[in-house]
Structure 1
Amino acid sequence: MPGATTTALASLHDVELCARAAAGERKAFGELVRRHGSAVRGLLRRMGAQAAEADDVAQDAFLVGFERIAEFRGQGAFVGWIKKIAARLYLRRLQRERRLGIFAAEGEHEMEAERGDADGRIDLDEALKGLGPSERMCVSLCFGAGLSHAEAAEALNLPLGTVKSHVKRGLDKLRTRLAPADGARVEGRRGNG
């Protein structure tokens, strides 16, 4: 009964599925792809990939993940592990296409983030579109893919301070953009200095 196997796999934790996949059970890995495919594609879209490109890179990331599943030790979430793989693959793709030069350019043109929708609400994806390319990439890598600032700096081939600056500016813009329209302060959300 194929339905019973699928139901049984759906009830397992990611760590258990990874162990089964490492033992050669392909259906267990298929369940991981089903669970986390949209999250990986969403990250890639936030990083700037078009839909078809996000699908391609996500598929490549899951293939790499399948080949390396024995390396996953369950010390973090599987989705974070596979997102890191996907982010690195996407960055390599950008480097191959020589589009990464814009992230290191000084005096980059900032995009205007003063757009809004009819009822004054906005979602995170729309807010990310209001960031400059380097800010969007750094914020997506550090918060979407879970890379540290140092890992993002290495992946982007940028100085650590530059990545930190892009992340800070990007987060400041996102806070402003996503703040309540009436200017009310959100209690308990103060920064550290």
Structure 2
Amino acid sequence: MSGATISTYASLHDVELCAHAAAGERRAFGELVRRHGSAIRGLLRRMGAQGAEADDVAQDALLAAFERIAEFRGEGTFAGWVKRIAARQYLRRLQREKRLAELAVEGTDDEADATAGDADHRIDLDEALKVLSPAERLCVSMCYGAGLSHGEAAEALNLPLGTVKSHVKRGLEKLRARLAPAESATAEGRRSNG
């Protein structure tokens, strides 16, 4: 293929790239990988996969997406579709390694509390996710990072729906407390002055 064709891929929408990839144009899929590969690895890290493991699962998910590209109908985003594939593959890997059972049982203990006085520092999501238990992090990442519904996450994790909802609720509460220390301090100041 010529350089003009390759640069043409960069200007195409994901749905168009998927159609080209489904027709056998590997470079079109390569453009999708270039666009979304790091976001997939980021989601997997947020779910608990470490460095090389996140890379391996992302690669496996992208390979599965390539093999099933004709199934993508464009009803949602390509990124969301492949993130769901990656999340499910990571969960299967956890199940194979018997770590999922441990993660599902853990999480009722509060882990390290968010440090007060961090209002002057920028807090990123990866750091904030560290205050969550592994089960909370996994459920929040699946529902908000991979775009699965609570029911889909419960099915994938083989957990009761209420358990997943509880992990998500507790996780979001911890994230709000961690990511909004300035608001908390302001509200506390108003209560003590009022």
TM-score (norm 1): 0.90
Alpha-carbon deviation of 1:11?
A: 0.2
SS in 1 for 2:99: coil
Structural mapping, 1:148-159, within 5 Å: 148-159=149-160
Paired position in structure 1 for 2:40: 40
Provide the C-alpha distance between the structure 2 equivalents of 1:13 and 1:113, rounded to a whole number of angstroms: 43
Residue number in structure 2 paired with 1:76: 76
Query: 2:105, 2:135 within 8 Å by CA — same for their partners in 1?
Result: no
Percentage identity across aligned positions? 75
Counterpart-to-counterpart distance in 1, 2:36 and 2:186:
35
Q: CA deviation at 1:110?
A: 2.8
Task: Describe the shift of the 1:122–1:106 C-alpha distance in structure 2 as closer, same or farther (beyond 3 A).
Answer: closer
> Counterpart in 2 of 1:189?
none
Aligned mates of 1:52, 1:107 — CA distance in 2: 25
Q: Give 5+ residue unaligned stretches, structure 2.
A: 188-194
**How far apart are residue 131 of structure 1 and its match?**
0.3
Counterpart residue number, 1:57: 57
The alignment status of 1:133 with 2:143, answered yes or no, reads: no
Q: CA deviation at 1:26?
A: 0.5
Deviation, structure 1 residue 3: 2.8
Which has the higher Rg, Structure 1 or Structure 2?
A: 2
User: Match of 1:188?
Assistant: none
Size of the alignment, in residue pairs?
185
CA distance in 2, matches of 1:104, 1:37: 28
Distance 2:2 2:56 in 1: 28
- The whole-number CA distance in structure 2 between the counterparts of 1:75 and 1:69 is 13
Q: Which amino acid aligns with 1:38?
A: S
Distance 1:6 1:74 in 2: 22
1:109-147, CA deviations, whole angstroms, 9 ceiling, x for partnerless residues? 331132476943211110001100000000000000000
The 1:127/1:74 distance shift into structure 2, 3 A limit, reads: same
Compute the displacement of 1:166 (Å): 0.4
Distance 1:107-1:64 versus aligned 2 partners, 3 A rule: closer
Q: State the partner residue of 1:11.
A: 11
**Structure 1, unaligned runs of 5 or more:** 186-193
CA shift in 2, pair 1:29/1:130, >3 Å: same
Q: Name the aligned partner's letter for residue 159 of structure 1.
A: P
Q: Is the 8 A contact 1:142 1:148 kept in 2?
A: yes
Once the two structures are TM-superposed, the CA of residue 106 in structure 1 deviates from its matched residue by 6.3
Letter in 2 for 1:113: D
Are 2:99 and 1:99 equivalent residues in the alignment?
A: yes
1:103 Cα shift? 3.0
RMSD over aligned Cα atoms? 1.8
Counterpart of 1:175, as a letter, is R
